[in-house]
Amino acid sequence: MGTLRRVLNFLKKIHKITKPVYQPVNRLEEVFIKACEDPAKRPEFFRLLFHFELLCLGDIKTREDGSQNAKLEASTFEGEEVIYAFTSKAALEWYITQNKLPAQNFLGFSALTLFDMMRGKSGLFLNSGHACSKYFSIKETVEILKEFKLDDHEVTMKAGETYRIGQPSDPPLPFIKSLGSYQKNSSNLKEIYFGLLATQKGELRFICVLEFVEEVSRKDEERIFEDLFIISRETLGPNKVIDFSKLDESSFRNAIAEKNLISIRSYL
């Protein structure tokens, strides 16, 4: 019996090794897989998402008056109605095959149209059954349609108000690591300085000061601020506040010189 058990375990290992793995068939899927592991890739994923068509399980239904409407298959996930969408026909067929389902009808929509259709009504499960998938709650389907812009990119303090800057005792390492990955792949960012700011009232918030290359355009600056906002939203815990500031338009040079604000490279 012991020999049989060993043989079965060996066959099980072979099965695991030879199990097929889904291979991405377009740029969106390539970036999606990277974004699952690296939050620094998530801004690119969200930008690409709205340039692609998504495929949903469902069919066209004809009403009595002859008009037609899309009827998408829905399920329930975490107490919300959810529809299933896929980043390609290959991704959809992979889901059907892995779940041993019969052939399914499907409809294609631009991602923008689909999210607009679902706004406030249902959530969306992107590439369900895949190693990399994403669930958008009803709240997220509303928020995703908004532009990812900060209300204020710069830290502003009232005249005469004092504040202290230093390093947090428990730094948000996933956030910092993601910033480092993003900076490494950005030709427009020279440095990112990080610290913790405390106001006179005892309010605490993280602060990032960005040093851009001299030839950076205003459009590229705005894109970077928006990207870093997405990264902070994806990696910081709830109720964490962070301010972003441009070095050339801030008063934080002394804090950097005194090493109260330090390069994120110091953490990596």
Q: Counting Cβ atoms within 10 Å, is residue 26 exposed (0-12), middle (13-18) or buried (19+)?
A: middle
What type of residue sits at position 1? M
Residues 160/239, Cβ–Cβ less than 8 Å = no
Residue-level pLDDT at 66 = 62
Rounded CA-CA distance 263/192 in Å is: 6
**What is the average pLDDT score of the chain?**
83
* pLDDT score of 90 more than 90: yes
Of 256, 149, 164, which is closest to residue 211 (Cα–Cα)? 256
What residues form DSSP beta bridges with 180?
A: none
Residues 48/85, Cβ–Cβ less than 8 Å = no
Query: Tokens 């390539």 appear where?
Result: 30
- Domains within the chain, CATH numbers bracketed: 27-143 (3.40.1350.90), 163-267 (3.30.300)
User: Is residue 153 very low, low, confident or very high in pLDDT (cuts 50, 70, 90)?
Assistant: very low
pLDDT per residue as tens digits for the range 43-65:
889 888 888 899 998 888 777 66
**Ordered DSSP codes for 51-73:** TSEEEEEEEEEE-TTS-EEEEE-
Of 178, 194, 198, which is closest to residue 186 (Cα–Cα)? 178
pLDDT per residue as tens digits for the range 216-258:
998 899 889 888 988 988 888 767 778 888 998 778 888 899 9
User: Is residue 158 very low, low, confident or very high in pLDDT (cuts 50, 70, 90)?
Assistant: low
* pLDDT score of 92 more than 90: yes
Residues 70/60, Cβ–Cβ less than 8 Å = yes
pLDDT per residue as tens digits for the range 102-118:
888 899 988 888 988 88
Q: Counting Cβ atoms within 10 Å, is residue 160 exposed (0-12), middle (13-18) or buried (19+)?
A: exposed
Residue-level pLDDT at 78 = 83
Max alpha carbon distance in the chain (Å)? 81
Q: Using DSSP, how many helices (H) and how many strands (E) does the chain show?
A: 9, 12
Residue-level pLDDT at 28 = 92
